[in-house]
Amino acid sequence: MNVLVVGSGGREHAICHALARSPRLGRLFCLPGNGGTALLGTNVMGDAADVKLALEVARRENIGLTVIGPEEPLAAGMADAFEQAGLAVFGPRAAAAQLEADKAYAKQLMRAQAVPTADARSFSDYRQACAYIETRDEALVVKAAGLAKGKGVIVCDEPHEALLVAERMLVKREFGPAGARIVVEERLEGREVSVLAIVDGATLHILETAQDHKRLLDGDRGPNTGGMGAYSPAPPIDAETMHQIEAQVFVPILDGLLRDGVRYRGVLYAGLMLTRGGPKVLEFNCRLGDPETQALLPRLRTDLLDVFEAAVHGRLDEIRLDWDPRPALCVVMASAGYPNSPSERTPISGIPVEAPDVMVYQAGTLRLGERTFAVGGRVLGVSALGDTLECARRRAYEVAGTISFEGAQYRGDIGLEPVASVSG
């Protein structure tokens, strides 16, 4: 079967890499892909959110399954367009992708379904936001309601900081259209965990756990990023809490969507805070995490093509997910300007051709002839499996140390410290 993967990050390279292990895979296409996916299949130039182009490619190349990696094409209705055209697609429809693309909508659905989450109000009027913030005397979090690449959340220590952030978002429009509506919510304390599930509308399989490191610098300092590394499994969540998360978060959200006529097909990702009052939702994503995927998929033994197909055709109940018990850890190597400014194209050297239990996933790269160039953002994710997390860590860093490109930056403490519970 021919497969099209939409996206260009490390997540998409990891997906392609796992699909390439399937004996049932025919030809593999990526829109637009990167230097890594170019080694596994055919990259199609264009924009990942270009619905028309994706449909054209799917028809022209006789694609049997399209897998949508990032949030933008999902929010743009790519899955809807494929379903309408009678083409198999893995990823939720736009209405369900609103869970990630519109935090105000996510809050509303959570409230309607009694899903535990931080108390919140949403505003598009600055004066109304101020009037509300002034009545609060606890620490607040202000979020741009729209898609902001993981950078639209500001955790405030003092209520007056929240006033300034509201002004930056609603008046100065520093966050662009994403900040035209904001969510102001109570700040929660506790351990942060991410739980991902693959869903076909009826059956739900919780995936193995993974944890990312969002801050740029060692010790969880510096600005928030898309993620500078990840490891799997995450520190354990006890069975009762996991059961609560499934029963109080996943089931009611999927029920609520179904009531609105949306059958969710794809990955639902819940970011949670384990508070003293139980798990509470911080956010939903409607897709696999990046870089969590680069730590999860090296551990998946089940054929990923079978898993995606089962989800698309409502047959997930027939699938058992089989995981390598060994931990995996991914170190992200980013370009000099990440996350704030773009970087010049620069050659990469030292990517190993073959290294046992190591996968070098590419993201911001370009393949030209026989050479691979860094083109900015997160450039590589070096993932390793090991008998223990420490072994995986050592192995990933050993390989990262042999790879070089100008201005490369990466954290030295992925998987070392438990991730801080609050950011500021």
Q: List interacting residues with ligand AMP (CB under 6 A).
A: 118, 141, 143, 150, 153, 155, 185, 187-188, 192, 214, 271, 282-283, 422-423
Closest alpha carbon to 192 in 224, 234, 129, 253: 234
How far apart are the C-alpha atoms of 144 and 128, rounded to whole Å?
16
Residue, CB closest to ligand AMP = 283
422 binds, among ligand GLY, ligand AMP, none (CB under 5 to 8 A by kind): ligand AMP
Q: Is 220 in the site for ligand GLY (CB under 6 A)?
A: no
Look up residue 316 and give its amino acid.
Answer: L
Instruction: Provide the sign of the torsion angle of the four alpha carbons 246, 234, 311, 51, taken in this order.
Output: positive
**155 contacts which partner out of ligand AMP, ligand GLY, none, CB within 5 to 8 A by kind?**
ligand AMP
10 Å Cβ neighbour count for 347?
12
Separation CA 120–CA 186 (nearest Å): 7
- Of 171-200, binders to ligand GLY (CB under 6 A) are none
Does residue number 69 form part of the binding site for ligand GLY (CB under 6 A)? Answer: no
Dihedral sign computed on CA atoms, order 59, 63, 64, 67? negative
Least distance to ligand GLY, CB of residue 74, Å: 13
Q: Which residues pair with 273 in a beta bridge?
A: 192, 280
CA gap 76, 89 in Å, rounded: 14
Q: Which three-class secondary structure string do you get for 164-190?
A: HHHHHHHHCCCCHHHHCCEEEEECCCC
| DSSP-H helix ranges across 198-345 | 239-245, 251-259, 292-296, 304-312
We find the least distance from the C-beta atom of residue 249 to ligand AMP, in angstroms, to be 14
Q: Which does 80 bind (CB under 5 to 8 A by kind): ligand AMP, ligand GLY, none?
A: none
User: Residue 285 binds which one of ligand AMP, ligand GLY, none, with CB within 5 to 8 A depending on kind?
Assistant: ligand GLY
290 binds ligand GLY (CB under 6 A): yes
Q: Residue 227 binds which one of ligand GLY, ligand AMP, none, with CB within 5 to 8 A depending on kind?
A: ligand GLY
Task: Tell whether omega for the bond before 325 is within 30 degrees of 0, i.e. cis.
Answer: no
- Closest distance to ligand AMP from the beta carbon of 266 (Å): 19
Binding of residue 289 to ligand GLY (CB under 6 A): yes
150 binds ligand GLY (CB under 6 A): yes
Rounded to whole angstroms, the maximal C-alpha distance in the chain is 61
The least distance separating ligand AMP from the CB of residue 12, rounded to whole angstroms, comes to 21
**Whose Cβ is closer to ligand AMP: residue 225's or residue 232's?**
225
Q: Name which position in 102, 200, 208, 212 contacts ligand GLY (CB under 6 A).
A: 212
**Residues near ligand GLY, by CB under 6 A:** 150, 212, 226-227, 285, 289-290, 292
